[in-house]
Amino acid sequence: FLIAALCLQWAILVNGFFHLKEGLILVDLTALLGADFTAAAVLISFGVLLGKTTPTQMIILALIEVPVFAINEVIGRQYFGAIDMGDSMFVHVFGAYFGLATSLVMYRRDASTEKEGASYHSDMFAMIGTVFLWLYWPSFNAGAAPGDDQHRGIINTYISLIACCVTTFALSSALDKNRKFDMVHVQNSTLAGGVAVGTAADLMIHPWGAALLGILAAIISVCGYVYITPLLASRLRILDTGG
């Protein structure tokens, strides 16, 4: 809550600086929505760093990441003309790579990972969060889109999410030696479809295209947890706590 609140205030000022109206920082619903997206990118980065940073380090990183996020978005949208309605590139990809880069810089060889696993209670609370995110992800991807673009964004996101969810459960069971569902996959990989379709959510990708994106996202996410995350830790010295 502290980091989110801090990021929202800082993002309103920083984003406003890059979008001045007659020399003034305009605070309206669009500005607040942009600040929400900025805070989301910071929180995604902290998913990589959970348990490895102090509160002071988290605050400093948040203050640094917000301006970097704003500059990256201005370059991408204004100079490269990137289309990203659901902010999958500018929020999720940026937040993930910023977190991974920070994890690499802060790597400690003697860092303990014995408490990295989840407990029953943390799994239950995380699952509640997953359900809310899954239900409202279409509004995240399509909330800022106008007219028919918003309708397409909602439909494409839902189709991608449901295809991703089914694939995640099937693959999670298939890759487990006891043929059980892994709660890490259920909590995280089921949302990958919403992230994957975000950039093209408002485009004419057709239902089969949205479903295909969801299926591919689930495969990459689950296999990433099973194979790539351990590889990052052992070979590249990147500890990704939250996946």
* 179-234 per-position pLDDT tens digit: 888 888 888 889 999 999 998 988 999 999 999 999 999 999 999 888 887 787 77
pLDDT greater at residue 210 or residue 23? 210
Q: Does the pLDDT of residue 28 top 60, yes or no?
A: yes
* 104-132 per-position pLDDT tens digit: 888 765 555 555 556 666 777 888 888 99
Q: What pairs with residue 21 in β-bridges?
A: 24
Band (pLDDT 50/70/90 cuts) for residue 159 is very high
- Over residues 127-151, the mean pLDDT reads 88
- Asked whether the beta carbons of 131 and 139 are under 8 A apart, the reply is no
- Asked whether the beta carbons of 222 and 189 are under 8 A apart, the reply is yes
Q: What is the pLDDT of residue 111?
A: 55
- Asked whether the beta carbons of 12 and 35 are under 8 A apart, the reply is yes
Q: What is the pLDDT of residue 195?
A: 93
Q: What pairs with residue 24 in β-bridges?
A: 21
Task: Please give the structure tokens belonging to residue 24.
Answer: 């003034």
Q: What is the pLDDT of residue 211?
A: 96
Q: What is the pLDDT of residue 115?
A: 55
Band (pLDDT 50/70/90 cuts) for residue 70 is very high
Q: What is the pLDDT of residue 120?
A: 62
- Asked whether the beta carbons of 190 and 168 are under 8 A apart, the reply is yes
* 74-109 per-position pLDDT tens digit: 999 889 988 888 888 999 999 998 988 888 888 765
Q: Does the pLDDT of residue 238 top 80, yes or no?
A: no
Direct distance between the N- and C-terminal alpha carbons of the chain, in angstroms, rounded to an integer: 20
Q: Is 118 helix (H, G, I), strand (E, B) or coil?
A: coil
Could you tell me which residues come within 8 angstroms of residue 156 by beta carbon, excluding any fewer than 6 positions away?
A: 141, 197, 200, 201, 202, 203, 205, 207, 209, 210
